[in-house]
């Protein structure tokens, strides 16, 4: 009689995977993964996650498919050109493996994705092509304690980095002065949106996407299974010489990314529906504090208006800096450069308290910071949970260009 432990059920699509000694398909089926970016690298990661039967995949990207994507993206077809990458990739993945629940968000990760989603997933996989978005993802993951895996490719070379908060070195720990200088000029010109920069195209081949995307997925598998990973380390592949080597990041104790949020309190508040005043009222009910004045601290600087010093014209903007282009700082009356009026604080008794949270740059299902003179509390906009995690999640309005 054959050994039942060695018998293979050919009707089980995961039968070969189950032969791996430490493999637990149930853990994979229960896992949720956020993939940021559906370009060449993201395609490989997404394909792998679906083949493995990962339970839920949140796919974030707001670019549209171009003809040049077709040579490097296994999930896209010619008929998909012009379609949002997130939607086309999700359709291909559902056809590949209906066991994997794929939720596409046509969204900018820096402005449209709430911290609640970062908190809820088991791991975030970054398939990005710019430092600014990587830095944002890094800070979000550290705030809520979610590990993330960064990948980068150029020509036939690539790099993989794994970061596990709160104790490992993080992405920002390894940044240089030049990295900060190159982050879309935001440290010197915060109103210069990515679409205003000269677009640069990174040369890549599908072969290196397969190598780095496979390694990213493999590290995610290890995290989901509770296996050890080399956190705070970069694995670099030189495709010309066929050589791998590693380098360790030194943890910087004063790193700005190392802020970790305490557990958030759920509030029945929605960013698109409710005003800041509604948030303050709900926070008072939850805390029992009826006396102290409240402030809402914004994580994204808000441009309230642009004021022209030459002619005195003031124009209301109400957009986060990520969504304000240089053309909006030109006075429509005299064509001189206007001065932006920004804020990162909303006072309970101030004029912005009557604005909806979404108008203040707060995305659905976010975790927000409310302070008083004596304490600070984090609140989850829990009323957005279903809309943020639904299979039919609608596209999120975003600028027409930029990275995920």
Write out the chain's pLDDT in tens, 404 residues. 445 455 667 789 999 999 999 999 999 999 999 999 999 999 999 999 999 999 999 999 999 999 999 999 999 999 999 999 999 999 999 999 999 999 999 999 999 999 999 999 999 999 999 999 999 999 999 999 999 999 999 999 999 999 999 999 999 999 988 888 877 554 344 444 544 444 446 788 999 999 999 999 999 999 999 999 999 999 999 999 999 999 999 999 999 999 999 999 999 999 999 999 999 999 999 988 776 789 999 999 999 999 999 999 999 999 998 888 888 889 999 999 999 999 999 999 999 999 999 999 999 999 999 999 888 999 999 999 977 776 655 434 333 333 34
> How many domains in the chain?
2
Answer yes or no: do 356 and 324 share one domain: yes
Domain membership of residue 182 (yes or no) is: yes
CA angle 151, 127, 52 (to 5 degrees): 90
In terms of domains, do 245 and 280 share one? Answer: no
401 lies in a domain? Answer: no
Strand, helix or coil at 326? helix
197 shares its domain with 307: no
Q: Angle 261-266-268 (CA atoms, 0-180°, nearest 5)?
A: 140
- Number of Cβ atoms within 10 Å of the Cβ of 1: 3
Q: Given its phi and psi angles, is residue 226 left (phi above 0), alpha (psi -120 to 50 degrees) or beta? A: left
- CB-CB contact of 375 with 334 (8 Å): no
Give the list of residues 6+ apart from residue 140 with CB closer than 8 angstroms, or none. Answer: 115, 118, 146
Rounded to whole angstroms, the Cα distance separating 144 from 118 reads: 7
Please indicate, yes or no, whether residues 120 and 11 belong to a single structural domain of this protein.
yes
Q: 42 Cβ partners below 8 Å, 6+ apart?
A: 35, 36, 59, 61, 85, 89, 127, 213, 404
Based on the fold, state whether residues 247 and 372 are members of the same structural domain. Answer: no
236 and 282 share one domain: no
Give pLDDT tens digits for 324-353. Answer: 888 888 999 999 999 999 999 999 999 999
Assess if residue 91 is contained within a domain.
Answer: yes
pTM attached to this predicted model: 0.90
**Mapping DSSP to helix (H, G, I), strand (E, B) and coil, where does residue 123 land?**
strand
Residues 50 and 113 in one domain: yes
Same domain, 229 and 355: no
Residues 6 or more apart in contact with residue 321 via CB below 8 angstroms: 186, 190, 191, 300, 301, 302, 303, 342
- Domain shared by 277 and 369, yes or no: yes
CA gap 42, 50 in Å, rounded: 12
Does 136 map to a domain?
yes
Residue in this structure with the two tokens 């993945």, named with its chain if needed = 93
Q: Is residue 35 part of a domain?
A: yes
For residues 38 and 159, membership in a common domain is answered with yes
Segments forming the whole domain that contains residue 367: 265-389
In this structure, the answer to whether residues 216 and 328 fall within a common structural domain is no
Neighbours of 388 (CB within 10 A): 22
Q: Which of residues 258, 280, 299 is at a domain's end? A: 258
Residue-wise pLDDT tens digits, 132-165: 999 999 999 999 999 999 999 999 999 999 999 9
Domain assignment present for 329: yes
Which alpha helices (DSSP H) does 76-205 contain, by range? Answer: 85-96, 115-120, 131-144, 177-182
Q: Are residues 276 and 321 in the same domain?
A: yes
Query: CATH no. for residue 85?
Result: 3.40.50.720
Question: Per the domain annotation, does 400 fall within a domain?
Answer: no
């Amino acid at each position: 009689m054959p050994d039942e432990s060695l018998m293979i059920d050919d009707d089980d699509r995961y039968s070969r995977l189950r032969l791996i000694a430490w493999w637990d398909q149930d853990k994979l089926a229960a896992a949720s993964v956020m993939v940021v970016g559906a370009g060449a690298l993201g395609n490989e990661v997404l394909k792998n996650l679906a083949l493995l039967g990962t339970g839920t995949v949140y796919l974030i990207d707001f670019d549209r498919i171009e003809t040049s994507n077709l040579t490097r993206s296994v999930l896209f077809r010619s008929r998909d050109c012009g379609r949002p990458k997130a939607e086309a990739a999700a359709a291909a993945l559902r056809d590949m493996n209906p066991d994997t629940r794929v939720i596409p968000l046509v969204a900018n990760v820096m402005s449209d994705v709430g911290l609640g989603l970062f908190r809820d997933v088991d791991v975030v996989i970054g398939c990005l092509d710019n430092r600014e978005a990587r830095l944002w993802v890094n800070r979000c993951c550290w705030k809520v304690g979610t590990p993330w895996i960064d990948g980068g490719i150029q020509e036939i070379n690539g790099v993989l980095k794994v970061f596990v908060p709160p104790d490992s070195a993080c992405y920002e720990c390894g940044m240089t002065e030049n990295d900060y200088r190159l982050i879309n000029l935001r440290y010197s010109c915060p109103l210069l949106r990515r679409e205003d920069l000269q677009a640069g195209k990174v040369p890549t081949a599908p072969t290196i996407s397969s190598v780095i995307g496979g390694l990213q997925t493999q590290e995610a598998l290890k995290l989901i299974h509770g296996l050890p990973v080399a956190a705070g380390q970069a694995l670099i592949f030189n495709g010309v010489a066929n050589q791998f080597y590693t380098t360790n990041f030194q943890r910087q104790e004063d790193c700005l990314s190392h802020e970790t949020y305490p557990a958030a309190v759920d509030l029945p508040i929605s960013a698109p529906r409710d005003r800041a005043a509604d948030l303050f009222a709900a926070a008072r009910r939850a805390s029992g504090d009826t006396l102290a004045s409240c402030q809402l601290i914004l994580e994204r600087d808000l441009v309230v208006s642009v004021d022209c010093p030459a002619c005195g014209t003031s124009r209301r903007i109400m957009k986060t800096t990520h969504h304000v282009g240089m053309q909006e700082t030109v006075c429509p009356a005299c064509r001189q450069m206007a001065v932006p009026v920004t804020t990162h604080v909303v006072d309970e008794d101030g004029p912005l308290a009557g604005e909806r949270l979404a108008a203040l740059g707060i995305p659905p299902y976010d975790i927000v910071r409310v302070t008083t003179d004596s304490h600070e509390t984090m609140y989850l906009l829990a009323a957005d949970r279903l809309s943020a995690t639904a299979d039919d999640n609608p596209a999120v309005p975003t600028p027409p260009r930029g990275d995920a």
